[in-house]
């Protein structure tokens, strides 16, 4: 009897641990028998909502099984016990594979999600057939430098002395600090680095859909930076550079593709040229009239790229 109770306790503990070892918000589109694509959202502290309501179903209609989810402790996967570590994100992603009985999948890593996807592919290469980087952060320090340089040009062009003074103060900060990161992204927002000045009609309509979504409006209103602080404290991700991993992944026979916009103020042209030299020009689409939310700004071309890359 004692042995039975011990065994039962172990099984209960295992079940509880397993049910919590995954994000609580997961949604799928398409036929589970089709080629699987898993979308990893940006952040930290964001969600997969914009991709989900604008793009996921359209891609599934092309013959793919699309999985979207919010990381544990972010977006709609609320969890006060979230650890905000890459190890936990890998555990969660492995749980998604297990839940849908996926052996291999294409990972679409958007912005911060590209950091997660690339490191997961390096650690679990047998589970990744292709890696698609969409406006993915590459070298965080290079991104911060690009933001400061472009902001300086704008402030000087507009004779914005207050902006230049603030820029000088931020430039003298510890560049690995969370405060430095926050100030850089504040400049990026102020100077409209996340938006293209020439959106096409489809992009405008898709952004209207996002703005009118009541759930996403509520999530945008949550300005908590718990996830950002957590990942910085545990992973010091502000100094991360995933670029050296690309050659390793290619040697593991993982196809890597990239989709970026020329109006995305988080990247310099030099960064994209380096990426092209690493992946090959035919594996990198660098588009006009396109900014950070590239799958929205140039959705038609994004879907063409997916169809071309993931055969």
* Residue-by-residue pLDDT tens, the chain, 311 positions: 544 444 443 343 333 344 446 788 999 999 999 999 999 999 999 999 999 999 999 999 999 999 999 999 999 998 989 999 999 999 999 999 999 999 999 999 999 999 999 999 999 999 999 999 999 999 999 999 999 999 999 999 999 999 999 999 999 999 999 999 999 999 999 999 999 999 999 999 999 999 999 888 887 765 558 999 999 999 999 999 999 999 999 999 999 999 999 999 999 999 999 999 999 999 999 999 999 999 999 999 999 999 999 97
- Whether the CB-CB separation of 14 and 43 falls below 8 Å is answered with no
Phi/psi at 287 (5° precision): -110, 145
Alpha-carbon dihedral sign for residues 22, 26, 31, 36: negative
Alpha carbons 165 and 167: distance in angstroms, whole number: 5
Bridge partners for 284 per DSSP: 258
Residue 195 DSSP one-character state: S
Alpha carbons 262 and 182: distance in angstroms, whole number: 23
Alpha carbons 11 and 261: distance in angstroms, whole number: 49
Q: Which region, left, alpha or beta, applies to residue 30 given φ > 0 means left and ψ of -120 to 50 means alpha?
A: left
**Homologous superfamily assigned to 26-139+195-309:** Alpha/Beta hydrolase fold, catalytic domain (3.40.50.1820)
Q: What is the model's pTM?
A: 0.91
Query: 237-248 as b/e, with b when 16 or more CB fall inside 10 Å?
Result: bbebebeeebee
Q: Where in the chain is the domain with CATH 3.40.50.1820?
A: 26-139+195-309
Alpha carbons 196 and 192: distance in angstroms, whole number: 8
CA angle 223, 84, 184 (to 5 degrees): 50
Calculate the alpha carbon distances from 266 to 133, 142, 203, 291 in Å: 14, 9, 20, 9
pLDDT for 224 equals 57
Alpha carbons 296 and 172: distance in angstroms, whole number: 35
Tokens 């599934």, located at residue: 60
pLDDT for 238 equals 95
Alpha carbons 84 and 79: distance in angstroms, whole number: 10
């Amino acid at each position: 009897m004692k042995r039975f109770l011990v065994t039962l306790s172990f099984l209960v503990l295992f079940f509880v641990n397993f049910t919590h070892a995954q994000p609580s918000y997961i949604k799928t589109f398409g036929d589970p028998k089709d080629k699987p694509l898993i979308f990893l959202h940006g952040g930290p502290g964001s969600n997969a909502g914009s991709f989900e309501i604008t793009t996921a179903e359209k891609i599934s209609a092309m013959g793919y099984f699309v999985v979207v989810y919010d990381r544990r402790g972010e977006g709609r996967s609320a969890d006060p016990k979230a650890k905000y570590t890459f190890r936990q994100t890998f555990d969660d992603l492995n749980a998604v594979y297990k839940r849908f009985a996926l052996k291999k999948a294409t990972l679409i890593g958007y912005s911060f999600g590209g950091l997660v996807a690339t490191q997961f592919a390096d650690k679990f290469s047998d589970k990744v057939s292709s890696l698609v980087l969409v406006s993915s952060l590459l070298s965080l320090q290079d991104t911060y430098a690009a933001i400061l340089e472009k902001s300086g040009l704008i402030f000087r062009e507009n004779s914005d002395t207050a902006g230049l003074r603030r820029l000088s103060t931020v430039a003298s900060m510890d560049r690995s600090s969370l405060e430095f990161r926050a100030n850089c992204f504040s400049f990026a927002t102020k100077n409209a680095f996340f938006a293209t000045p020439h959106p096409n009609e489809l992009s405008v309509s898709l952004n209207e859909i996002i703005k009118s979504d009541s759930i996403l409006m509520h999530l945008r209103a949550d300005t908590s930076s718990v996830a950002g602080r957590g990942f910085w404290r545990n992973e010091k991700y502000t100094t991360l550079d995933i670029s050296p991993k690309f050659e390793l992944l290619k040697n593991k026979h993982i196809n890597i593709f990239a989709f970026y916009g020329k109006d995305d103020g988080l990247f310099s042209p030099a960064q994209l040229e380096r990426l092209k030299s690493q992946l090959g020009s035919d594996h990198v689409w660098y588009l006009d009239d396109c900014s950070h939310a590239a799958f929205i700004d140039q959705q038609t071309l994004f879907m063409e790229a997916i169809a071309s890359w993931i055969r």
